[in-house]
Amino acid sequence: MHNEEHKILFAFSAELDVEFLQELYGEDLQQAEMVFESSVQQLRNELVLAEARFHAGDTPGLKKVVHKMKPLFGYIGLNEIMQEFAAFEDVCVKAESIAETEKGFNDIATVTEQAIQKIEKEIRRLKQFNTQYL
């Protein structure tokens, strides 16, 4: 018998879609770290743009930004948020004025801020893990 190297596994936070993330990234946690960092930065930038579109009364523009933000949540294991964003896209399509999107917009802005905080914690955990086992 030969000695098998003991693999030290990283456990994604339970508030994320752990099974999906393990399937997506496998053992490539450096890739996960890079994608998480990139996704958070994009979410920050797109949220600023979404706020600008909302305050300008640009419902079609707001819908486009929300559509671009939606898949970013999948890359970071927050798949249920993608569904919330899809529902808000529908609100934007049906809205006859920006006022009709206000509650939904405030909700997705809050959800995005909370998601960014969760993922920043996960990035710190990934960084610690990745540097510890280089």
111-127 per-position pLDDT tens digit: 999 999 999 999 999 99
Question: How many other CB atoms are found less than 10 A from the CB of residue 45?
Answer: 13
Instruction: Please tell me the total number of residues recorded for the chain in this structure.
Output: 134
Q: Are 12 and 77 in contact (CB under 8 A)?
A: yes
Q: What pLDDT sits at residue 3?
A: 33
HSE value, Cβ hemisphere, 13 Å, CA-based, for 52: 9
Set out the domains of the chain in order of their start, with CATH numbers: 28-132 (1.20.120)
Answering whether pTM is above 0.85, one says yes
Q: Is 40 within 8 Å of 25 (Cβ atoms)?
A: no
Residues whose CB falls within 8 Å of the CB of residue 85, separated by 6 or more in sequence, listed in order? 66, 67, 69, 70, 73, 108
b (16+ CB within 10 A) / e for 83-119 = ebbeebbebbeebeebeebeebbeebeebbeebbebb
Q: What is the pLDDT of residue 60?
A: 96
What are the 10-residue block averages of pLDDT along the chain, 134 residues in total?
A: 52 94 93 97 98 97 97 94 95 95 97 97 95 76
For tokens 């405030």, the residue is 106
